[in-house]
Amino acid sequence: MTTKPLPLTPELHAYLVAHGSTPDEVVRDLAEETLAALPGEAVMQVAPEQAAFLTFLTRLLGVRQAVEVGTFTGLSSLAIARGLAEGGRLTCFDISEEYTGVARRYWERAGVQDRIELRIGPAAETLRELPRERYLDFAFIDADKVGYPIYWDELVPRMRPGAVIAVDNTLRDGRVLAPRNADDRAIAAFNDAVIADVRVEAVMLPIADGVTLARVL
């Protein structure tokens, strides 16, 4: 057993990406368009290896009912939708018509638009409209960081036993160790709350900017 963490150099990261499922033309075009049209915001998009991981995980879990909070131009939602089981549905939440207008085009191009429903509005309010029963198999949280505890509290009671919540940016580029701004502090507090939450068991993975996987008991 090793307790020494492996430093992920840029070369090793490139190797890792090249040895996982590689992005297809739709994903490459979506990443390129997002960077060209929204250069200041493109950093919000999930990493390509993270998108591959989301498809893998969704497929592995046999997900039929999924929710995403924070859709942006659609890369993570596309990845989740592609992994859904036959007849599966993904409900996406975002506040921006502009960003999600791009997402809608790429869902259509990838042929997954029929499985996705988009709800526009502040997720703290729109999530409350979901059925109040334990029916969700998978959720991905990747919206405004200060909202994470609210999204968590809306989602956990709606997850069926054994369902998984994936949460993005839980390492904040390492700044969870020494938070520098409100978002860093929000995530550090959120991480503490997750590990103390007796309704879930959780692991943190050093994928991209840190992904927490919580299995709801």
**Alpha-carbon distance 170 to 179, whole Å?**
12
Supply the Cα-derived Rg of the chain in whole angstroms: 17
Q: Does residue 44 touch ligand SAM according to CB under 6 A?
A: yes
Q: How far is the CB of 9 from ligand SAM (least distance, A)?
A: 25
Map tokens 């590689």 to a residue: 22
Span 114-143, contacts to ligand SAM by CB under 6 A: 122-123, 142-143
One-letter amino acid for residue 45 of the chain: Q
- Number of neighbouring beta carbons within 10 Å of residue 139: 28
Q: How far is the CB of 11 from ligand SAM (least distance, A)?
A: 25
Site track 53-92 with ligand SAM (rule: CB under 6 A), x = hit:
-----------------xxxx-xx----------------
Q: Does residue 190 touch ligand SAM according to CB under 6 A?
A: no
Site track 142-171 with ligand SAM (rule: CB under 6 A), x = hit:
xxx--x------------------------
> What b/e readout covers 18-31, taking b as 16+ CB neighbours within 10 angstroms?
eeeeebeebbeebb
Our CA dihedral for 61, 190, 119, 98, rounded to 10 degrees, sits at -110
Contact residues for ligand SAM, defined by CB under 6 A: 44-46, 70-73, 75-76, 93-96, 99, 122-123, 142-144, 147
